Structure 1
Amino acid sequence: MSAIAAWTRQHRLIAFFGLTLVLSWWSWPFYAVGLAPVPFFACGPLVAALVVIGLAEGRAGYRDLLSRLTRWRVGWTWWVVALATPLLVLAVAAAANVTFWDAPVPDLASMAWADIGLLFALRFVNPLDGPLGEEPGFRGYAVPQLQQRWSPLRSACLLGAFAALWHLPIIVVGELQPIAIVVTFAITFVYVWLFNHTRGSVLLVLAFHVAQGTVSYAALGFTGADADRMDWLAGALWLVIAIGLVTLDRRAWRNAPPAAIPSVSAERVSV
Structure 2
Amino acid sequence: MRRRMGWLKHHRLLAFFVLAYAISWALWPLYAAGLVTRMEFLPVGPLAAAIIVIALTEGRPGFRAWGRRLIRWRVGWIWYAVALLLPVVLVLVTGFITMALGAAAPGLAQLTWTGLLAVFAVRLVNPLDGPLGEEPGFRGYALPLLQASRPPLLSAATLGVLVTLWHLPLVLFGGLNPIGLPTTFAITFLYVWLFNRTGGSVLLTFLFHNSQGTFTVGSFGFAAAGAGRAELIYFLVVVLAVLATVVLDRRTWRKAPRSATAVGRFPLGMRPM
Q: Identify the TM-score tier after normalising by the shorter chain.
A: over 0.9
Change (3 A) 1:263 1:145: closer
Partner SS, residue 177 of structure 1: coil
Name the CA distance, whole Å, in 2 between partners of 1:106 and 1:254.
39
Shift of 1:152: 0.7
Q: How does 1:1-271 map to 2 (within 5 A)?
A: 1-32=1-32, 34=34, 35-104=36-105, 106=107, 108=109, 110-218=110-218, 221-267=221-267, 268-269=270-271, 271=273
Assess if the C-alpha contact under 8 Å between 2:108 and 2:215 holds in 1.
no
| Native 8 Å contact 1:79 1:204 kept in 2 | yes
Residues 21 and 166, structure 1, Cα contact 8 Å, conserved in 2: yes
Could you tell me how far apart the structure 1 residues matched to 2:106 and 2:258 are?
Answer: 46
Indicate the RMSD between aligned Cα atoms, in angstroms: 1.9
After TM superposition, the runs of 4+ consecutive aligned structure 1 residues lying more than 4 A away are: 216-221
Task: Check whether the contact 1:64–1:264 (CA below 8 A) recurs between aligned residues.
Answer: yes
Give, in whole Å, the separation in 2 of the partners of 1:189 and 1:41: 23
Post-superposition offset of 1:218: 4.9
* Structure 1 stretch displaced more, 47-56 or 249-258: 249-258
CA distance in 1, matches of 2:221, 2:141: 37
Mapped partners of 2:17, 2:111: distance in 1 = 39
Q: Which amino acid aligns with 2:76?
A: G
Name the SS for the 1:128 alignment partner.
coil
Task: Write the deviation string for residues 213-244 of structure 1: whole angstroms up to 9, x where unpaired.
Answer: 11345567524122222211111111111122
Q: Percent identity?
A: 46
Contact kept, 8 Å, 2:220 with 2:230, in 1: the verdict is: no
- The answer to whether the 8 A contact 2:70-2:202 is kept is yes
SS of the aligned residue for 2:148 comes to helix
Structure 2 Cα separation of the partners of residues 270 and 89 of structure 1 = 35
Indicate how the Cα distance of structure 1 residues 195 and 105 shifts in structure 2: closer, same or farther if over 3 A, else same.
closer
Q: Which moved more, 1:141-150 or 1:218-227?
A: 218-227
- Deviation string 1:155-190 (CA, Å, 9 cap, x unpaired) is 111101111111111111222122122111111111
Structure 2 vs 1, CA of residues 138 and 220 (structure 1 numbering), >3 Å: closer, same or farther? closer
State TM-score, norm by structure 2. 0.92
Aligned length: 270
Greater shift after overlay, 250-259 or 214-223? 214-223
- Structure 1 residues 113, 167: closer, same or farther in 2, change over 3 A? same
With normalisation by structure 1, the TM-score equals 0.93
Q: Distance in 1 between matches of 2:108 and 2:239?
A: 28
- Tell me how far apart the structure 1 counterparts of residues 30 and 203 of structure 2 sit (CA, whole Å): 34
Distance 1:145 1:221 in 2: 38
Gaps of 5+ in 1: none
Alpha-carbon spacing, 1:32–1:96, altered in 2? closer, same or farther (3 Å): farther
Distance 1:61 1:220 in 2: 40
1:161 aligned partner, one-letter code: V
Q: Would the aligned equivalents of 2:103 and 2:222 in 1 still touch at CA under 8 Å?
A: no
